[in-house]
């Protein structure tokens, strides 16, 4: 891990909500945290709140039908808990960096831990939000949500692609707005019930349409144009960190290939696997994407060339082939086994990198003490 340098974290956050509201709030909150509390432990705790939300809704709404008319709805207390947990996760994600600076413990490990878990959190966040509308008549189809998930995933990786090419992480505006809004929507749902979302906002425009429109519009009118602008600006001013546009766009090869493989499975599945097991399929895709993104984050931190192909995609190709050709009779079992393999592979990768970084910088992941200190 000799390529890592303990350089100051370079990020730009120009979102008015973040600058004028959330940062002052996080500065207030961090004062109540003990100075012995490791920033990575704060990061991990926030991430686990999102995982808890995902598991909680998976229990009460496993196939995303609970919010549909005629089905047993999710209990109101679950929406209250989801709103609180989501805001706590968002708050801890904002506080961890401030705790690191407050305790003079900022390291590349903290940066990787923060953004690596954020990349995985995308799937838990999106799948939990989906339960508000579900797949009923007034909800969103599982195929539509699949493509919305991909919009969210690509929006996330765009920021790290920018840093890979410019050395600066431009934080997207949509993140803060979406986190505050969704936390409030969870709480409102607990009070008014999911039936409220059946009614149109105006004319025939439903709330689910507003949900879809906001995600897609934010990605294609703000996030994508700003990312391309920042990278092309660096290219024109000869400040691009890589030698050519080919090298600059290389990080997109693995995500695009993952999209092609997973979409092939969705479109040509003999048993319509996405209709049968949407939650598990989303989890598989989101985890595989997080693995690809983490490798990009490691490359941007170590100033090394991005891998053209993530090794995780090599076994995925025959898995998809087995599924779409019908060679494997039980497609659901195949999906469960492959999802378990992807999760274990991603956890193994994460633990290995954290251990290497901890050893390289002589630090502990979840403690501010030195490894050899008493």
Is 115 considered catalytic here?
Answer: yes
Distance (Å, whole) CA 198 – CA 195: 5
> 73, 115, 160, 242: which one is catalytic?
115
Q: Classify residue 125 as exposed, middle or buried by CB count within 10 Å of its CB (0-12, 13-18, 19+).
A: buried
Q: Classify residue 67 as exposed, middle or buried by CB count within 10 Å of its CB (0-12, 13-18, 19+).
A: buried
Single out the residue of 324, 298, 321, 313 nearest to residue 257, CA to CA: 313
Single out the residue of 200, 183, 203 nearest to residue 137, CA to CA: 200
Residues identified as active-site: 115
């Amino acid at each position: 891990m000799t390529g890592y340098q303990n350089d100051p974290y370079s990020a730009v956050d120009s979102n008015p909500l973040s600058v004028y509201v959330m940062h002052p709030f996080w500065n207030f909150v961090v004062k109540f945290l003990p100075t012995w509390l490791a920033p990575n432990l704060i990061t991990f705790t926030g991430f686990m709140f999102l995982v808890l939300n995902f598991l909680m809704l998976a229990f009460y709404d496993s196939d995303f039908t609970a919010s549909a008319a005629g089905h047993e709805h999710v209990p109101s207390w679950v929406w209250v808990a989801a709103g609180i947990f989501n805001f706590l996760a968002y708050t801890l994600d904002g506080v961890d960096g401030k705790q690191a600076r407050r305790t003079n413990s900022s390291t590349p490990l903290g940066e990787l831990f923060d953004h690596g878990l954020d990349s995985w959190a995308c799937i838990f966040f999106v799948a939990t939000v989906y339960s508000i509308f579900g797949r009923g008549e007034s909800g969103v189809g599982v195929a539509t949500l699949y493509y919305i998930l991909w919009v969210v995933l690509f929006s996330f990786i765009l920021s790290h692609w920018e840093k890979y090419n410019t050395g600066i992480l431009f934080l997207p505006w949509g993140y803060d707005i979406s986190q505050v809004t969704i936390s409030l929507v969870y709480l409102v749902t607990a009070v008014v019930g999911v039936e409220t979302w059946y009614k149109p906002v105006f004319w025939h425009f439903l709330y689910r349409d507003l949900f879809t429109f906001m995600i897609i519009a934010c990605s294609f009118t703000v996030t994508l144009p700003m990312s391309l602008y920042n990278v092309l600006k660096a290219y024109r001013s000869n400040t691009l960190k890589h030698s050519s546009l080919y090298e600059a766009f290389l990080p997109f090869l693995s995500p695009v290939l993952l999209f092609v493989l997973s979409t092939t499975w969705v479109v040509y599945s003999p048993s319509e696997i996405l209709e049968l097991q949407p939650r598990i399929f989303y989890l598989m895709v989101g985890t595989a994407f997080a693995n690809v993104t983490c490798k990009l984050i490691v490359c941007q931190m170590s100033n090394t060339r991005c891998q053209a192909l993530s090794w995780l995609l090599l076994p995925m190709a025959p898995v998809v082939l087995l599924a779409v050709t019908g060679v494997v009779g039980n497609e659901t079992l195949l999906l469960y086994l492959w999802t378990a393999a992807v999760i274990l592979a991603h956890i193994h990768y994460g633990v290995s990198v954290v251990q290497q970084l901890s050893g390289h910088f002589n630090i502990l992941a979840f403690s501010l003490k030195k490894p050899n200190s008493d």
